Amino acid sequence: MRNWTGIGVAVAMLALAANPAAAEWPNDKPIKFVIPYSPGGGFDTIVRAFAPALEKELGATVVPENIPGAGGAKGAASVFRSDPDGYTIGIFNIPGYTVTKVMGEDLGFDLDAVTWIANLATSRYAIAVKGDSPIKSVEDLCAIGRPVKLSDTGANSTSSVAARISFNMINCPLVNVTGYKGSNDAMIAVMRGEVDGTLKPISSLKKYTDSGDLRLIVTYTDGPAVEGVPSSGALGYKEFAKLDLRRLIGAPPGLPDDIRKRLSDALIKAAASAEVQDWAKGAGEDIDAVGSDDATAMMAGLSGFYGQFADFLKQQQ
C-alpha cells in the first residue's frame, strides 16, 4: 500500500522549493508603502489609515514612506524600479498618470507594466471656495468677469485635469494656479485669498468645511453627496461625475502571482476591517475596494475614457 501521506508531503516540499517566495514571504523584512506626495494630503492619509490593518492581515511590518516630486511621478517610478519581491508597493495617482500617458508624455516608467494589486477607494470631487466668499454657485464662479483661478499641485494632477475638462464642458474660462506642494497647501491657498477656489476630493476638504474655512458649492456626483450642496447631476452637468480619483495600489512589474494575490486579498480584508471602516466614516472617504483583476480592468477602461480628451489637454499645455 502506498504511503499517500508521505507522497503529499514530498509534493508540498517540491512546490515550496520551486517557489521559495511563497514559503518565505513575508518574513521579517518590512514592506515599504510608498506615498508619492508630501505628508498631510489624501494619498498620505489613506495609506496611513490602511497600514495598521494591512500589518495585521499579513503579519508583517508596513512602513509608509513619502517620496514627493515631479507631480507624484518620482514616487511612482521608485516603486516601478524596485525589486518585484513584494516588499515595495505604492499608491498611484489615477487617473493623473493615465492622462499623462494618453497625452504621450513621459512618466519615467511604463504605466502599462505596473502590477496592479487593488483599488482602495474612489474619491468624489467638489469645488470649494473661501468660507465667507460671495460666490455661492458655479454660475457665480463663472460670472466673476475673468478666468477662474483654482489652486492645484501640478498641471497633470488628477484634480487639475478634472477641473480643466469640466470647466471646458461648461465654457467657463479657467486658470490652474499650480505649484503647491500638496493638496493641503492648495486648500490653504483658497483661505488666504490667493485663488477663487479649488477642486479637491470631498474627504480632503472635510476638515476645512467642518471648520467653516471653506464652503462647497458643488459636488461632482450624480446625486446628493453632502447635505445642502447641489450635485453636478442635479445641475445638469452629467459628465462631471465621471471625473473622480482612484486610490490604486501598484507594485513593480514581474511580481509573482502568489504574492500579488496575497497582497490583494490582504488589502481587501483591511478595507473591510472595523478600524478602516470607522476611519472612512469619520473622514468621509468612499471605500471602494476591489482586487487585482478588477483593478487591472479599471485601468484599461480609464485609458479609453481619458483618451477622448487627449487633444484638448494637449492644447492646454
Residue 285 is predicted with a pLDDT of 84
CB 223 within 8 A of CB 231: yes
For the chain, what percentages of helix, strand and coil (3-state, to nearest 5) are there?
45, 20, 35
In a domain? residue 2: no
Give the CATH number of the domain where residue 38 resides.
Answer: 3.40.190.150
Q: Which of 18-27, 40-49, 273-282 is predicted with the least confidence, judged by mean pLDDT?
A: 18-27
Residue 317 is predicted with a pLDDT of 65
Residue 19 is predicted with a pLDDT of 47
Please tell me whether residues 105 and 34 are part of one structural domain. Answer: yes
- Domain boundary among the residues 208, 242, 276 is at 242
Residue 110 is predicted with a pLDDT of 95
Residue 23 is predicted with a pLDDT of 55
Residue 202 is predicted with a pLDDT of 92
3-state DSSP call for residue 151? strand
Residue 9 is predicted with a pLDDT of 43
Residue 12 is predicted with a pLDDT of 42
Give the CATH number of the domain where residue 201 resides.
Answer: 3.40.190.10
Shortest CA distance to 166 belongs to which of 221, 105, 213? 221
Higher-confidence residue: 273 or 1? 273
Q: How far is the C-alpha of 110 from the C-alpha of 250, rounded, in Å?
A: 12
pLDDT band at 96 (very low <50, low <70, confident <90, very high): confident
Residue 84 is predicted with a pLDDT of 98
Residue 315 is predicted with a pLDDT of 80
- The percentage of the chain sitting over the pLDDT mark of 90, rounded to a whole number, equals 70
Please tell me whether residues 261 and 250 are part of one structural domain. Answer: yes
What number is the average pLDDT over the span 160-182? 93
- The percentage of the chain sitting over the pLDDT mark of 70, rounded to a whole number, equals 92
What number is the average pLDDT over the span 165-174? 96
Please tell me whether residues 116 and 61 are part of one structural domain. Answer: yes
**Residues contacting residue 113 through CB under 8 Å, at least 6 positions apart:** 80, 253
- Domain boundary among the residues 209, 242, 275 is at 242
pLDDT band at 115 (very low <50, low <70, confident <90, very high): very high
Please tell me whether residues 36 and 61 are part of one structural domain. Answer: yes
Please tell me whether residues 111 and 214 are part of one structural domain. Answer: no
In a domain? residue 265: yes
In a domain? residue 71: yes
- Domain boundary among the residues 207, 242, 277 is at 242
3-state DSSP call for residue 38? coil
- How many structural domains comprise the chain? 2
pLDDT band at 28 (very low <50, low <70, confident <90, very high): confident
Residue 312 is predicted with a pLDDT of 86
Tens-digit pLDDT profile for residues 257-278: 999 999 999 999 999 999 999 9
In a domain? residue 10: no
In a domain? residue 260: yes
Please tell me whether residues 272 and 192 are part of one structural domain. Answer: no
Tens-digit pLDDT profile for residues 49-58: 999 999 999 9
Please tell me whether residues 200 and 285 are part of one structural domain. Answer: no
Residue 11 has pLDDT above 70, yes or no: no
CB 267 within 8 A of CB 119: no
Q: How far is the C-alpha of 274 from the C-alpha of 40, rounded, in Å?
A: 23
Question: What sign has the CA pseudo-torsion 58, 60, 66, 71?
Answer: negative
Mean pLDDT of the residues in the chain:
90
Residue 72 is predicted with a pLDDT of 85
Please tell me whether residues 302 and 250 are part of one structural domain. Answer: yes
Q: What number of CA atoms fall less than 13 Å from residue 41's CA on the CB side?
A: 26
Please tell me whether residues 113 and 129 are part of one structural domain. Answer: no
In a domain? residue 36: yes
- Rounded to 10°, the helix 42-58/257-272 angle is 110
CB 119 within 8 A of CB 298: yes
What number is the average pLDDT over the span 282-297? 91
Please tell me whether residues 204 and 290 are part of one structural domain. Answer: no
Which residue range forms the structural domain that includes residue 277? Answer: 29-122+245-315
- Backbone torsion region of residue 248, taken as left when φ is above 0, otherwise alpha when ψ lies between -120 and 50, otherwise beta: beta
Please tell me whether residues 253 and 221 are part of one structural domain. Answer: no
In a domain? residue 15: no
In a domain? residue 21: no
Query: What is the value of pTM for the model shown?
Result: 0.77
Residue 267 is predicted with a pLDDT of 98
Residue 117 has pLDDT above 80, yes or no: yes
Please tell me whether residues 112 and 207 are part of one structural domain. Answer: no
